[in-house]
Structure 1
Amino acid sequence: MTRSVSRSAARSAAYAALAMLLALAPLAADAAVALLQPPRIIDGTRPMTVTLLVTGDAQTRRFTVPATLQVTASADLLAPIRVEARRAGHGPAVLRLADGETRTIRYTADWPVTLRGQVRLDVAGIDAAPVLVTLNRAPAEATAAAGEPSNRAGTAADTTAGATAGTTAGTTAGTQGGATAGAAAEAAGAAPTALASGPANGAPAPADLRDGQRLSFNEPMYFLVGAHNGANAKFQLSFKYRIFEGEDPTSRGVLNNLYFGYTQFSLWDLHGDSRPFRDTNYRPSLYYYLSDTGVRIGNVSRLSLATGFEHESNGRSGDESRSINTLFLKPTFYFGDQTDWHWRVAPKVYAYVGKSDNEDIPHYRGYMDLNIAYGKPDSWEFSATLRKGTRKGYGSIDAYLSYPLAHLVPGTAGYLMAGYFWGWGESLLDYNQKSPWQFRIGYALSR
């Protein structure tokens, strides 16, 4: 009898404890976080201002407000720049929001001096839509005289929006695509949720920004001049075009990620009579390309993939005709934070499916181009492409060192570039000849 009563009491205690846990358990809910759109034209002589909008859902929530935000600022033909924005004014370290309540949090930083024109701002760690602004760096008096709006920062600290503003802000958050940042309920002593602001997670990568356009750079575009064995120049044009834009931007289907690429490379003899072109190579391609496969292995922070068909020829006839067709596979591995100093390794493996004008080209070029690079988007970058022929001693090194020109001449774009070549086959015409080493210097539109 006593044992039965004990069991009954134990069951009752267990049920009571379970009921208490269920009562204290947080309801599943999220809080929307959005990046508010500032004025269309920004006074570039004043600090950058980034404003987050946080909206509470369901019951009261607690949020840990980060002291700083990592913001990536990028402009046309300029490398993205990582900026640390600090929270403006004074406000609570933890926000407590009721269902539907909104709060704005403002951050400021100095504009990088190299930025000009239209600028895109992305905040790392939150899945909010980026904003576009146009910088006006004219003196404030001239801006006011012209009647242009400015982004004069208010002095108020974090403020709670009223009911009407909350509705408008909520609509703005939905329009801006503000995503969820996991919120913890204020029950059972749950720790407040921090808005993610890590340096790598969610940070837009430079290549992502470059690949975001339908028409974009493919391989480096440059013009370099050297003087070994006579004045000469080397230049390259290269772009890619996304043929079909599907309804789902995250689709990995073949048609939605099919690109046409075109690269044209020329060697120009500047010391000969009439300054003739030594050789010009034309390289159209059709290939499948994913800027980010989503694969993360070990220290790999991003993996891109390209595979398809490529033709390369020099457009000549007779004994000087050169032509090859290849099927290629090119994964690109990124190691480290892509907005800071990082490595890039891109082996391009190919199989020849046509080389009638130059059957022995694998002896000198081999079956792979290995590109290795180390650098920072808004600073120096060193890159080199290595080739090794199937026969001993044949191969080449094509190396480049580049630096953003805007750091030297504000208002410009592109890169100051130096290049070095050694080995066989700098162009298709001379695939089986060892070229004199060349050091050249010039300008690059992309690298």
Structure 2
Amino acid sequence: MTQPSIKRPGAARRGNRSSSTRLRIATPLLALALASGLYTGVASAGMSYQLDATQASPGETVRIKGMLFNDTDNALSWTPPQNLVLQWRNEQGKVIRSLAYLDTPAQQVELPINNFAAFSWKAVVPTEARGLQALNIEGESVLLALDTSPLQESQVAGTPAFTPVVDAGAAPPGSTQDPPLPDSVVAAAGANAEQGPRPAAPTTMAAADSSSAAFENFRNAISTYEPIYFDVGQKGGTNARFQLSFKYRLATPKDPARPGFFNHLYLGYTQLALWDLDGDSKPFVDVTYNPSLFWHKERVWSPAEHSPFYVGLATGVEHKSNGKSGADSRSVNDLFIQPEFRYRFSGGSTLAFAPRVKAYFGKPDNDDYAHYAGHVDWKLRWAQDNGLVLTGLYRQGTEGRNAMQFEAAWPLRRTFLDMNGYLHVQYFKGYGETLMGYNQKSSGQVRVGLALVP
């Protein structure tokens, strides 16, 4: 694991060296102590890990839960790794290595004193894994256990404990067995004196897990797509512009390390609205509904395995409509292809250039749409890790018609508010702020608000 760094005030530089040394020494020791339940309370910071299951068969997914804790005198700053390298070891010493994948995009965590943060990585049990596996996270002093035998055949996770509870450590000198505890002591602990259940979830827990499986599958397949924000401006009366957007993965790969072609297929949905907050009934000026079906892969090509430059691709079909009828009806369909050129800077930021080229079809309500919106959305984005995000969009139609949009977002966790989301500022000028008004030109409008996804 990359060692968590401690953020210290500028006036407290004298203690940096000794504290850093103490942290490096304490972290591996604490990981071992936490794994065995022997944490002694020494002020330090580090990670502890555990598996969310005791048994899983080859091909099934398990999760490794990580807990980052900060028991030092200063705030802690750390970014979780996107992947963990796992070593699966059986009784014969055979080793299989695989990757575990962070459930959420890796973002820097700012952890106050006496706080903790939870993380989760998912991993698929290797096809060749058999029996009881000792699971090690490379670079960590952590050893976890998982029984990969089918539950009905397992001698570890599938076998009840037909044995009494003993008073460990109470055997007299020279004895090779600990004496059983009195039945009354065991009963007071809520256990059976003669046998215990196998190490699996109770029936009530299993039922709860089964009922939530559909939601868990949905949660794992859904992710962010376009920005999500709510901004308010004051030009020509108070008005708001907001957008909701997400994408849904149609097929989750059995092995995240080797996704197939169809594992990159998504359903997308974006909804953009302009809202008049000064009108008598606070009417919506226009709403654009934008479903889509597309294929997307973030890294299709790069000059080298670990090159900071890489190229991705998105291509598909989308429909836009304002959901109205008669003279106010607007709709347009397009096929698009979007190459994505990204460069990852060593300082922790990414520059992305993603022009979207569109070919329109089936637009009976507005045959001249391309004259105002053009055939290319020129998009440029620069994003710091847990920092400033700048985005620019430009469209060029015919006869000098164009539109431009600039956005800036700053994480609110890095302000006195210390809350989720981003402070969001947006500027729009030109044609097509709404689908109904695609052929109307808007003068420059600045809006400020909250972004959940910048």
> Which of the five TM-score ranges fits, normalised by the shorter chain?
0.5 to 0.7
Amino acid at match of 1:377: D
TM-score (norm: length of structure 1): 0.57
The separation in 1 between residues aligned to 2:41 and 2:338, in whole angstroms, is 41
The separation in 2 between residues aligned to 1:43 and 1:384, in whole angstroms, is 52
Match of 1:315 in 2: 323
1:309-354 deviations in Å (ceiling 9; x for gaps): 1011000011111101111111221123387133111111111122
Is the aligned partner of 1:370 residue 2:378? yes
The separation in 2 between residues aligned to 1:337 and 1:239, in whole angstroms, is 27
> CA 1:311 to 1:131, structure 2 compared with 1: closer, same or farther past 3 Å?
closer
Which of residues 210, 225, 236 is equivalent to 2:243?
236
Which of residues 356, 359, 362 is equivalent to 1:348?
356
Is the aligned partner of 1:49 residue 2:49? no
Say which structure, 1 or 2, has more relative contact order (CA 8 Å, 6+ apart): 1
Which of residues 227, 231, 240 is equivalent to 1:224?
231
Deviates more, 1:285-294 or 1:338-347: 338-347
Query: How far is the alpha carbon of 1:305 from its aligned partner?
Result: 1.5
The separation in 2 between residues aligned to 1:329 and 1:131, in whole angstroms, is 29
> CA 1:424 to 1:138, structure 2 compared with 1: closer, same or farther past 3 Å?
closer
Query: How far is the alpha carbon of 1:423 from its aligned partner?
Result: 0.3
Paired residues of 2:249 and 2:266 also in contact (CA < 8 A) = yes
Paired residues of 2:84 and 2:99 also in contact (CA < 8 A) = no
Query: How far is the alpha carbon of 1:131 from its aligned partner?
Result: 7.4
TM-score (norm: length of structure 2): 0.56
Which of residues 296, 307, 313 is equivalent to 2:303?
296
Identity of aligned residues (%): 35
The separation in 1 between residues aligned to 2:369 and 2:44, in whole angstroms, is 57
The separation in 1 between residues aligned to 2:84 and 2:347, in whole angstroms, is 11
Paired residues of 1:49 and 1:109 also in contact (CA < 8 A) = no
Q: Give unpaired runs (5+ residues) of structure 1.
A: 1-35, 53-73, 76-107, 151-169, 180-211
Match of 1:407 in 2: 414
1:275-313 deviations in Å (ceiling 9; x for gaps): 100000000001111122243389862322211110110
Amino acid at match of 1:354: G
The separation in 2 between residues aligned to 1:311 and 1:45, in whole angstroms, is 59
* 1:378-393 pair list within 5 angstroms: 378-389=386-397, 391-393=398-400
Match of 1:204 in 2: none
What's the secondary structure of 2:285's corresponding residue?
Answer: strand
The separation in 1 between residues aligned to 2:432 and 2:444, in whole angstroms, is 11
Is the aligned partner of 1:270 residue 2:267? no
Amino acid at match of 2:46: T
* 1:21-420 pair list within 5 angstroms: 47-49=44-46, 112=76, 120-122=80-82, 129=100, 171-173=134-136, 176=137, 213-251=220-258, 253-296=260-303, 301-337=309-345, 340-389=348-397, 391-409=398-416, 411-420=418-427
> CA 1:139 to 1:433, structure 2 compared with 1: closer, same or farther past 3 Å?
closer
The separation in 2 between residues aligned to 1:442 and 1:311, in whole angstroms, is 28
Paired residues of 2:354 and 2:378 also in contact (CA < 8 A) = yes
Q: Give unpaired runs (5+ residues) of structure 2.
A: 1-30, 50-65, 87-97, 119-132, 141-218
Paired residues of 1:37 and 1:131 also in contact (CA < 8 A) = no
> CA 1:432 to 1:128, structure 2 compared with 1: closer, same or farther past 3 Å?
same
> CA 1:243 to 1:421, structure 2 compared with 1: closer, same or farther past 3 Å?
same
Deviates more, 1:333-342 or 1:425-434: 333-342
Paired residues of 1:345 and 1:372 also in contact (CA < 8 A) = yes
Instruction: Tell me the C-alpha RMSD between the 2 structures.
Output: 4.3
Query: How far is the alpha carbon of 1:430 from its aligned partner?
Result: 0.6
Query: How far is the alpha carbon of 1:123 from its aligned partner?
Result: 7.2
